[in-house]
Structure formats: C-alpha cells, structure tokens
Amino acid sequence: EDQVTQSPEALRLQEGESSSLNCSYTVSGLRGLFWYRQDPGKGPEFLFTLYSAGEEKEKERLKATLTKKESFLHITAPKPEDSATYLCAVQEQGGGAQKLVFGQGTRLTINP
C-alpha cells in the first residue's frame, strides 16, 4: 500500500530563515508527486507536480525536488504569508484511478 510520511510535523522559523520540508514515499510505481499548500479551514492549493527523479520545480520562494524515495520542499527567505500546512501526495501508476495518497502535512509558521 502507498505510504507518504512528512517531516517535521511542525516547523517554526524566523522571517528570512531558509529551511526544507521532507516527504518520503513508498509506492510500487510513481505516476506523480504533488505538493499542496493548505491554509486553516480552506481547501488545498496546488503548488507543484514532479514526475521523475532529478526533477525540480520553482515558484517564488519555493523549490521542490524529487529523488526515487523522497521529495523536498525548500523554502528560501520565507515571509509570514508563507505560514500554512504543506501537504505532499503521491499518485500511483496503473489503471484509470488517479487517487492521491496524502501525507499528514508539515505545519509551517514564519514569525516576523
């Protein structure tokens, strides 16, 4: 069964203090790995899709990378508005089903 584990569970940073969030996964065949941002009481907001090991995607202060067993979300010089829960999800190859299997998320707080 697909498994996604995110670490740390919670992370508190000062504004401008860069860091990385980890997502490790086990899946028989990876179709795609997805990063989402979720604010309290809101729906997840799509950030990135990564398809194969070695791939990188960037958006503003965020950069996502992928290896065969894990993905990292690097946050450079974060601002308070980057505070949110970041969710990682995987989609397995095979069949027409496209369900996402989510990790428990990393709750990120950026202090001004």
Partner 1 sequence: DSGVTQTPKHLITATGQRVTLRCSPRSGDLSVYWYQQSLDQGLQFLIQYYNGEERAKGNILERFSAQQFPDLHSELNLSSLELGDSALYFCASSLSSGGAREQYFGPGTRLTVT
Binding site for partner 1 (CB under 8 A): 31-32, 34, 36, 41-46, 49, 51, 87, 89, 91, 95-105
> 51 forms bridges with which residues in the sheet?
none
Which residue, 75 or 88, is less far from partner 1 as judged by CB? 88
CB of 26 to partner 1, least distance (A): 16
User: Which amino acid appears at position 8 of this protein?
Assistant: P
Task: Considering the complex, state which of residue 78 and residue 105 has its C-beta at the smaller distance from partner 1.
Answer: 105
Closest to partner 1 by CB, 13 or 27: 27
Distances (CA, A) of 103 to 3, 33, 58: 8, 11, 21
- The CB-of-21 to partner 1 minimum distance in angstroms stands at 15
Question: Residue 3 in contact with residue 25, Cβ under 8 Å?
Answer: yes
Among residues 101, 109, 105, 108, the alpha carbon closest in space to that of 33 is found at: 101
